């Protein structure tokens, strides 16, 4: 059994903790969390052991929530750490994991240099096996990498142009804007996603730009890919139907917006209504010579969860990526081709 | 003097009527409007003569607003008609203009076949001179055509990929959605903008797709253009700075969203806070080999107003497009390069 400690219990950390508890080869040692808020209360009520950073404040005392120890205690009891703290905190935390001699999985908000590998399971699981520090890339980069890699592997990809229409805030982030604007974020292009994608797929010729808009449930990627040869729409559909963690949908079945992504997530019966798959509109796929165009949606809160689970196994030394991904997908109820 | 009658007094019609009143070579005969609502009341208070469709209802009686005559009377008194009725109504109205022997300018919501020319003044003014029926293309197509044409003329454009992030509703349209979704509109690509753009620039290789998002103030176009040769960012900036009806802005000056488009419109002191220009972010321009990438915003309520004014002169027989555009731009306070 791989004993897993999760540091940070926000959007990603809480989901990783839940997913770890579903794995037959993993034990959740506990989670480290800064404040004893309602989410800590809920975790405690479910029997999750809570660890607190030492000396930050006294808010845990008198909270009525039992604290199992310090963050350092959690590190000591774990075989693998998943750091899901806010962007940039992972860099400050890594020395503690080094001191404890524990391999760690970081998130995409950290600089690539924090890990030996920028990780997307389908693309480069092997490269992460036995590494000490692995960085799961961000939600957008994960979604781009899965899709581009499937087409690169099958057809060869010469160039990618991806325009990202990003959700501006997660549903619980009521303080964030905008509420009536499309914001170029960044204005200066390319956005960081291009360089980040090249961390996963080296040498890829890719241009990315991004806007954020007043929606909360999913990003949308509007993509053009120039392939190494002319490939028809049906060939692309065939490849994507067989591909892991990509699901095809169609407007013929009433699927036309990120609201539909949100609804299908709630209908799947998974925890939190999560959608772990790239959601690709089959009828958005079109070809013009060697160019393929398509649109996909990415549930930003959920898509990296299977990657975190696979990254745990990789740093723990499991050599078979397909074994890991098969196990992750079956425990998380990720099926192929079932919505198309 | 060109006597102009405006049929329809909504977002476009009311702006065209105002713009006509600013032209030294035009007289606004009046506007035809279906209902005596607050906008009719405001127009009447400004001395605009109102004409009503005959027999639709009796709502004008007892409204306290003087009716100058029927729509047919308006047609009879006018040299040129601008039809700004809702999409698809222009087709039903055209027989009345034919019967009255009046040339007419239609809007982009109509099928291209309603006009002899799909019109963007900078691109094809000459083709519309002396024609009977001209169609000013939609806001998005107008914005695309101005930009693509400037680069086509200077450098040659081999391919255009344009992903449109559309405002879902105008500010007054409180019944329209979405409020928290990105909607693929359409899902099946290319969107109609590609074919519409080819009506203006025949033979152009262009792919377009579009989403709509919960914003009200402007569309954003995320564009990639493959040019006939390698061209640097500064060369593109030089061309666009000199181009009519395109304004460059920069995030260095704090310009990063459609909210800034809205604000600058209100600061310009024009009627209704209108922005008639394509708003191109200079720092969004980048090049990769023969590809140029950039982002622009389009104020959907305003951008076609100068085109309507020029189209009136074209069908009235004024042969010089540059004379018309110069006059339009000076009366509407459209300057070049002043925001960059």
Question: If you average pLDDT over residues B90-105, what whole number do you get?
Answer: 97
Decide if A224 and B224 are in contact by the 8 Å CB cutoff.
Answer: yes
Decide if B284 and A184 are in contact by the 8 Å CB cutoff.
Answer: yes
DSSP, residue by residue, A268-320: TT-GGG---SEEEEGGG-EEETTEEEEEEEE-TTTTTHHHHHHHHHHHHT---
Identity of the residue in A214, A281, A283 whose CB atom sits nearest the CB atom of B214: A214
B237: pLDDT strictly greater than 90: yes
- CA distance from start to end of chain B: 37
At CA B298, angle to CA B296 and CA B301, rounded to 5? Answer: 175
**Is-contact B273 B329, C-beta < 8 A?**
no
Q: Which residues of A touch B295 (CB under 8 A)?
A: 184, 187, 189, 209, 211
**Is-contact B242 B195, C-beta < 8 A?**
no
Q: Is A328 on the interface with B (CB under 8 A)?
A: no
pLDDT of res. A56:
61
User: Residue B261: which pLDDT band, with cuts at 50, 70 and 90?
Assistant: very high
- The sign of the torsion formed by the CA atoms of A194, A199, A202, A203 equals positive
Identity of the residue in A188, A251, A288 whose CB atom sits nearest the CB atom of B283: A188
Q: Is A87 on the interface with B (CB under 8 A)?
A: no
Decide if A209 and B217 are in contact by the 8 Å CB cutoff.
Answer: no
Decide if A178 and B251 are in contact by the 8 Å CB cutoff.
Answer: no
Instruction: Encode burial over A161-200: b for 16+ CB neighbours within 10 A, e otherwise.
Output: bbbbbbbbbeeeeeeeebebbbbbbbbbbbbebbebbbbb
User: Residue B281: which pLDDT band, with cuts at 50, 70 and 90?
Assistant: very high
CA distance B214 to chain A (A): 6
pLDDT of res. A143:
98
Separation between Cα atoms, residue B278 and residue B140, nearest integer Å: 10
pLDDT of res. A145:
98
B336: pLDDT strictly greater than 90: no
Tokens 């979405």, residue located: B178
pLDDT of res. B56:
61
Tokens of A79: 């075989």
CA distance A262 to chain B (A): 9
**Is-contact B132 B114, C-beta < 8 A?**
no
Lowest mean pLDDT among A180-184, A273-277, B58-62, B228-232: B58-62
Question: If you average pLDDT over residues B273-300, what whole number do you get?
Answer: 97
Residue B139 is a catalytic residue: yes
Decide if B165 and A259 are in contact by the 8 Å CB cutoff.
Answer: no
Decide if B286 and A220 are in contact by the 8 Å CB cutoff.
Answer: no
User: Residue B309: which pLDDT band, with cuts at 50, 70 and 90?
Assistant: very high
Decide if B284 and A182 are in contact by the 8 Å CB cutoff.
Answer: no
| A229 contacts: CB under 8 Å, gap ≥ 6 | A155, A156, A290
Average pLDDT per 10 consecutive residues for chain A, totaling 340 residues: 98 98 98 94 96 80 92 97 97 96 98 98 98 98 98 98 98 96 96 98 98 98 98 97 97 96 93 96 96 98 98 97 98 89
CA distances (Å), A118 to each of A98, A121, A139, in order? 19, 10, 13
SS (H, E, C) B262-297: HHHHHHCCCHHHCCCCEEEEHHHCEEECCEEEEEEE
Give the A window 188-207 contacts with B, CB below 8 Å.
188-190, 205, 207
CA distance B94 to chain A (A): 35
Decide if B257 and A178 are in contact by the 8 Å CB cutoff.
Answer: yes
Separation between Cα atoms, residue B144 and residue B158, nearest integer Å: 15
User: Which of A173, A180, A340 to probe by mutation at the B interface, max B CB count within 10 Å?
Assistant: A180
Q: What is the pLDDT of residues B65-85, one digit of tens each?
A: 999 999 999 999 999 999 999
If you count them, how many residues does chain A have? 340
**Is-contact A298 A217, C-beta < 8 A?**
no
Closest residue by Cα to residue A252 from B100, B188, B40, B61 = B188
pLDDT of res. B58:
74
Give the A window 95-114 contacts with B, CB below 8 Å.
none
Separation between Cα atoms, residue B182 and residue B51, nearest integer Å: 40
pLDDT of res. A53:
86
Separation between Cα atoms, residue A297 and residue A250, nearest integer Å: 12
ipTM of the complex: 0.92
Q: Which residues of A touch B251 (CB under 8 A)?
A: 184, 186-188
């Amino acid at each position: 059994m791989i004993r897993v400690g999760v540091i940070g219990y926000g959007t990603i950390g809480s989901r990783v903790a839940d997913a770890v508890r579903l794995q037959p080869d993993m034990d959740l040692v506990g989670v480290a969390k800064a404040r004893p808020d309602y989410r800590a209360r809920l975790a405690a009520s479910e029997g999750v052991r809570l660890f607190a950073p030492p000396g930050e404040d006294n808010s845990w005392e008198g909270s009525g929530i039992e604290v199992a120890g310090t963050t350092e205690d959690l590190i000591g009891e774990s075989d693998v750490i998943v750091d899901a703290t806010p962007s940039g905190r992972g860099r400050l935390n890594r020395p503690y994991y080094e001191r404890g001699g524990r391999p760690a999985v970081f998130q995409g908000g950290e600089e690539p240099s924090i890990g030996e590998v920028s990780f997307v399971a389908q693309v480069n699981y092997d490269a992460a096996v036995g590494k000490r520090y692995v960085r799961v890339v961000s939600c957008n980069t994960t979604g781009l990498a899965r899709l581009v890699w499937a087409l690169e592997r099958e057809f060869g990809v010469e160039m990618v142009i991806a325009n990202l229409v990003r959700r501006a805030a997660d549903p619980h982030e009521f303080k964030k804007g905008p509420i009536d604007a499309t914001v170029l974020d960044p204005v200066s292009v390319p956005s960081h996603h291009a360089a980040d994608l090249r961390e996963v797929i080296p040498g890829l010729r890719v241009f990315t730009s991004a806007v954020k808009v007043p929606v909360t449930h999913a990003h949308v990627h509007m993509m053009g890919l120039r392939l190494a040869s002319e490939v028809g729409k049906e060939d692309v559909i065939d490849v994507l139907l067989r591909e892991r963690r990509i699901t095809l949908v169609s407007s013929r079945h009433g699927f036309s917006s990120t609201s539909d992504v949100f609804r299908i997530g709630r209908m799947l019966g998974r925890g939190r209504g999560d959608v772990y798959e790239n959601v690709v509109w089959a009828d958005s796929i079109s070809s013009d010579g060697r160019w393929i165009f398509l649109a996909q949606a990415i549930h930003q809160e959920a898509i990296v969860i299977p990657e975190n689970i696979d990254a745990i196994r990789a740093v723990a030394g499991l050599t078979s990526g397909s074994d890991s991904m098969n196990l992750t997908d079956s425990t998380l109820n990720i099926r192929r081709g079932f919505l198309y």
